[in-house]
Structure 1
């Protein structure tokens, strides 16, 4: 059962997911609470696992990591052991920034970030295909990112998150 959130909780989450560097005092001021009750709410949201962690989002392009590819992966034999082996292998590949098991004719959808086409080719050959588990990969190179957010759509769980 999902955690019950009120409008203040939702506003706190909205603020934190847009700027994890805000101090408790800044958050409290923006939601109309004093620091102690605001801190208790944030702590509860962390303790219940709604807030999993706070991160810094880097500009990949400025770091030279602007080559992004979506790959649909089909395993040769999708047994439990092979799925588990693939899951474990993927978790150790830093180029894979997202991985999901999916329905349909494929087994996985991967989002891969790397420097350029030669680096992507090396990743495919030396990492993904060397596992010996994959029968098919369909790759789609991202030309331009239209929307890229880590924010959860909080408006879907509360009637209105005041801005």
Structure 2
């Protein structure tokens, strides 16, 4: 899909606030409302826009602690990897998961209420699972930047 400069402006605006009306988007992007609507439909059909969501404040919702966990699996068989994928999908505390190079097989970002909640999650969920060999945790002390905006 070819992305023009005006398309980039439109995508930047909806990344910042997906709740803007067609009229607001058209005005900010110097485009006709019909063009904005058509381009958004094309972006959604092409799966360029995967979802339109609201970003919630985790602190106000009781998810104050952010933990980065480096996970090493017992092996890399298909059964183990698919089992780990199922484990990840089944736990909303895990908000991000990346297969990585280096010492750990995966990096997780986990959001929970506090240290006690993480300790319980780690011992009862991660470490009790036979496919997880090691978990190395780092607690986020201060979040300096967090964004979902891609650099367009």
Flag whether TM exceeds 0.5 (same fold).
yes
Give every structure 1 segment of 4 or more consecutive aligned residues whose post-TM-superposition deviation is greater than 4 Å.
none
Quote the residue 2:7 is aligned against. Answer: 9
Residues of 1 paired with 2:14 and 2:151: CA distance? 13
Q: Report the alpha carbon displacement of residue 140 of structure 1 after superposing the two structures with TM.
A: 0.5
Alignment partner, residue 66 of structure 1: 64
Q: Aligned ranges for residues 86-97 of structure 1 at < 5 Å?
A: 86-97=84-95
2:77 equivalent in structure 1: 79
> What is the CA-CA distance between 1:130 and the residue it aligns to?
2.0
SS in 1 for 2:127: helix
- TM-score normalised by L of structure 2: 0.97
Quote the Cα distance in structure 2 between the aligned partners of 1:140 and 1:21: 35
Query: Per the alignment, in what secondary structure is the counterpart of residue 21 of structure 1?
Result: coil
1:123 corresponds, among 121, 124, 139, to 121
Alpha-carbon contact 2:127-2:134 (below 8 Å) kept: no
Q: Deviations over 1:112-142 (max 9, x none)?
A: 0000001001101111122211111110000
The separation in 1 between residues aligned to 2:129 and 2:21, in whole angstroms, is 45
The residue aligned with 1:107 is: 105
Distance 1:132 1:114 in 2: 23
3-state SS of the aligned residue for 1:131? coil
Q: CA contact under 8 A between 2:127 and 2:135: conserved in structure 1?
A: no
CA distance in 2: counterparts of 1:149 and 1:33, whole angstroms:
26
